Structure formats: structure tokens, C-alpha cells
Structure 1
Amino acid sequence: MPLRTLERTDVDSDTLIVFLHGLGLDAEDYLPYLRESHQRCVAVTLYGFDRGSTQDLEPATFEQHAEYLSALLAELQREHPAARLVLVGFSLGADMIIRLADYWSHHAGEPARIASAVLLDPNINHSTMTISRVLANANPDDPLADLKRIATLPASMASFQAIITYLGKILGKDMRHLHRLSTDAVNYWQPDGYELFGKRLATVKHFADHIRVLLSDDYQPHLNALQDFQDERLSFAIIPGSDHFDLIDIENLTQALDHPMPAPGPDTRACDPRLTASVTERTHELPQLTRAVMRY
């Protein structure tokens, strides 16, 4: 069962940062950060979200994605046993960290031990799931009308530009996988209120020493309620002036991960123009898992 990653492991660092992308995106959203980072980094592309054809892959459930990621993290920790593990998730990737904690709390085996979890604009209830709700109700065989609806959502020119860029990225993906994962994600959260979100963050604390929840400006109306869950191991903060997709800009990722980037070096690109000599693409062949979904 393959999962593709982009990896920066040629640096002398005691930290391993694992990045999880948003709905319909992939590891390449973190490529600018990986190129400049002085930490060991692995950006994961979720099962079924590679660019190009995935027609031979049956869409995975939310729980199956958690199972696959759990196996990948176990592999990475075997490869880097002394590394301090940091998990970073954006949007649905942040939800995936929460779902991983649920998975570990209900299944036997050794969970990953996370030094720090950084959640960038996680969903808290249906009020923050505008795009997910549209994709969950879309016809994956004919999604044009719903994709057009997403394009009408922004209230500013900057947000419109970000949404158009996002739509351009997901158009290259198999819509069946987006539909299944968005449907499961919507069903995972309650329509309103914050109690379930707080309860699930408490589960994450069983596996992570520290949790930072960093939010775009759109979350300002929720901040007071969310800060009721704050303690010495869990913090919330708004990134001032930020749009949702701004949170994965290299500047905001650097701020989120609390370390300065090194000065840019010479451009040493490999044959693939997306990659530098220090960022490698890798396919992890995970063992066949109990709820695997590949067709035979």
C-alpha cells in the first residue's frame, strides 16, 4: 500500500517534522518550506491524492487514512528513533491529526509519541467546513456546478485568487477521493458548538506533549470559546491579517514552527524542476493493512 512523500533528511537535526496537507491538496504545498528548512522534514501525500490517475484506487475512509498514516509514522520513527517528532496539519490535515489520536485511542499497538502537534485552521464544527460541505454534496462524476459554487464563496479579491488557485490544484485529482473524504470529515464533526472539538483535543493530548492551534482571521468569532480549552499544553492564536491558505505560506509556517529559516543558498535544482538536490521524492510501501482498500 504506497504513500508518496517529499523528504528533506540531509540536515543535521534532532527534529523530524511531518506535514499533512489540506483537502484535495498534496505534499507539494509544503515544497517551498522543505527547500529552505534546516530541520528534517517529511511532507505526506494522502492515499488517493497523488497528481495523475488514481482510477485503480478505491476511495479510503477517514479511519483508513488514519490507519495508513499511523503505519507511516511508525516507519519514520523506526528510521529516526532519536528524533523529536512534530506533526503539522493544515485544514483537513489538522483534522487528520485529531483523527489519528482517535484511532490510536481505540486500536491496539504502539502509537507515535508526538513532541508537538501544530494544527493550522482545523475544523471545529460545520461552520468552518464550507468547502468540505460543498464537496461532500457534489456529484463526483460531474462536479462542475459545485466547483463553480466554491468559486463564488470569497468575499475579497485576495481570497478569490486563493480559491481559484485551490480549484486549479484539485481539478487534477480524482474527485471520488475528495467526495469520500469530505463526506466522512463532515460526518465527523457536529453542526455547531465546541464541546466535541474540545473533547477531541483532549484525546490528542494523550499522544502529544504540546499542541498549538493557529488560526486565520476568519476564526476570530470562535477564539473566545476555544480559549476555554487552553492550558499549559494547549494554546490558540490568530495569525493577524491571514487568509485560510496564507497559513501554509513559508513565512507563516516558519512562525508556526518557531525557528528562523536559513539564508537562501544557491539554486541547486535536480532534473525534476519541482525539487532541489536536497528534497527527494519517496514511495513508502506500507504493509497490507486490515482495512486496505486497493482493488485486486
Structure 2
Amino acid sequence: MTISKLFAEADPEDSLSAFKKLICLSTDLDLFRALCSYLLKVSKKDFTQLWQLSRDMLDYWEPDGYAQIGARLASIAGLSDEVRVVLSASYTEHLPFLRKAVQHEARISLELTDLGHFDLIAEDSLKRGLAFAR
């Protein structure tokens, strides 16, 4: 949601400024590389559409959204045998609140990984996670 918030607050006619701000969020070389890779993909898109999508995403979630996400995960659990949520390390502080929000739904598991966001969604990580689910 950090990127969505940054894009939603940007001037839709000035994508370059938003992209520069995003790169400045880098805290180490690995995150810098990941953000550069991400920007290579999104910089080819119509920024006005990214801006609107970001605004829509922020409007969709309540600020403290734990009960909201718990209800949405419960809806998903109603359609499947198991829902596995893996959170990157930067979400550690949210884990207790999320656990409380899904405490009545045994089909939902919440896990924390040491991987950062971009490492977690990398193709190799996703393949391993999907293989685990089978």
C-alpha cells in the first residue's frame, strides 16, 4: 500500500516525480534494485490509470482494516479448504491484529517470512509457495 499511497497522492500528469519519490524509498541496494525493476514495468503504463487504481485501492480499505480484511479472508475461506496468508517481514507489527481478525476461522493460516515484499512476490518464491499448497 506504500506504493499505492505514493501514486494516489501524486500529480497524475507528473509520473516522473512519483517515480523519483518511489526510488528514494530504497533503504538498501536490494530494495533499490527491486524498485528499479518494478519501475521498468510500470513506467510503460498510462500513469493516469495507475493513479486512479491507486486511489481506488486506498478507498477500498479502511485505515485500520483488520476487521475488514478478516471478513474478506473469511469469505475466501468459505470458497476453499484452506487460505494461507504469507506476510513479508515488514508487516510483523500487523500480525497480532490480523490473527485476532481471523481467530474464528480455522481454515486461515497466517505466516511471517524473512523475505521482503519484492522477494516474496518474485517468481521463484511464488513457485515454491504454490508447490507447498498442493
2:123 & 2:35 partners in 1: Cα distance? 18
In structure 2, the partner of 1:250 is 123
In structure 1, the partner of 2:26 is 154
* Ranges of 4+ aligned residues in structure 1 off by more than 4 Å: none
1:223 & 1:131 partners in 2: Cα distance? 20
Q: Which has the higher contact order (CA 8 A, sep 6+)?
A: 1
Q: Comparing both structures, which one devotes a greater share of its residues to helix?
A: 2
Contact 1:214–1:237 (8 Å) recurs in 2: yes
Are 2:112 and 1:238 aligned? yes
Number of residues of Structure 1 aligned to a counterpart in Structure 2: 130
Q: Which runs of 5+ in 2 are unaligned?
A: none
Secondary structure in 2 matching 1:258: helix
Compare CA radii of gyration and give the structure with the larger one.
Answer: 1
Contact 1:214–1:256 (8 Å) recurs in 2: no
In structure 1, the partner of 2:74 is 202
Amino acid at match of 1:235: S
1:194 & 1:154 partners in 2: Cα distance? 27
Contact 1:205–1:211 (8 Å) recurs in 2: yes
Amino acid at match of 1:248: I
For residues 8-56 of structure 1, the C-alpha deviation after alignment (integer angstroms, 9 at most, x for no partner) is: xxxxxxxxxxxxxxxxxxxxxxxxxxxxxxxxxxxxxxxxxxxxxxxxx
Cα distance 1:227–1:243, how it changes in 2: closer, same or farther (>3 A)? same
1:207 Cα offset (Å): 2.4
1:193 Cα offset (Å): 4.8
Q: Which runs of 5+ in 1 are unaligned?
A: 1-128, 260-296
1:216 Cα offset (Å): 1.0
In structure 2, the partner of 1:11 is none
With structure 1 as the length reference, what TM-score do the two structures score? 0.41
Identity %: 39
1:185 & 1:214 partners in 2: Cα distance? 20
For residues 112-159 of structure 1, the C-alpha deviation after alignment (integer angstroms, 9 at most, x for no partner) is: xxxxxxxxxxxxxxxxx1110111122222222121111111222211
Q: Comparing both structures, which one devotes a greater share of its residues to strand?
A: 1
1:179 Cα offset (Å): 1.2
1:189 Cα offset (Å): 0.6
